[in-house]
Amino acid sequence: MHLTAAPLKIQIQARLQQLDGRLPPRWLPSSHLTGAPAGAWRSWLQEQGSLTLRLQSQARQGFRVRVLSEGVSRVHPQEAQLLQAASHRVWVRQVLLEVDDQPWVFARSLLPLDDRGLLRRRILQVGNRALGHILFSDPLIERGPLMFCAPGQLPFDSLWGRASCFYGEHLRLLVAEHYLQPMAERLALPTLPYYATALMQGVTPS
């Protein structure tokens, strides 16, 4: 049974620490993700512009960034490898992107501690603003290929996810975004068939 709104927020907050050092989601290019959704889901997964702006366009009452945790933490070696980070200790920021007070997206951003420069300072001081305002306003920041993961790979209820690395001068930032049930319900995006497909492919929800 999926949780919505306040119960889901409580569940995510309670299980957040379980992500530390945990095996990360199985990120795959779209061509290798079996059971990947089509239609409107694919549009959200493959969005090349600012996800923040797209979420804001869906808001009837408001959009907010709820910061769940932020600080230096140890990450799994696979995440460090994606970042090409020399150390497994990186700056980690975990937030909920909320539309009309409903949690639509869980986002996890990783920044190596050896990065330097103005961009690093801006990101570390972003506070309760969306990172997208920085990443998509600077023409010198480039985005790497999108990767995707099937539902159920976090310690709380989650649907499809996507991740990519952003690169700039003295900057490497890994951003993972996982869509949540309230978003699917509001936009009438199908969930159960894809969830079942992920299970059949050996991806077991936590």
CB 49 within 8 A of CB 136: yes
Report CA dihedral (10, 107, 44, 8) to the nearest 10 degrees.
0
Percent of the chain predicted with pLDDT > 70: 84
Length of the chain: 206
Could you report the per-residue pLDDT of 134-187, keeping only the tens digit for each? Answer: 889 888 889 999 999 888 889 998 999 999 999 888 788 999 999 999 999 999
Quickly state the pLDDT bin for 204 (edges 50, 70, 90). Answer: very low
Which residue did the predictor score with more confidence, 198 or 52?
52
Binding residues: 93, 131, 177
One-letter identity of residue 68: L
Binding residues for substrate: 93, 131, 177
Residue range 5-13+29-199 in CATH 1.10.10.410: no
- Can you give the residue ranges of every domain in the chain? 5-13+29-199
pTM comes to: 0.87
Q: Position of tokens 């530390």?
A: 20
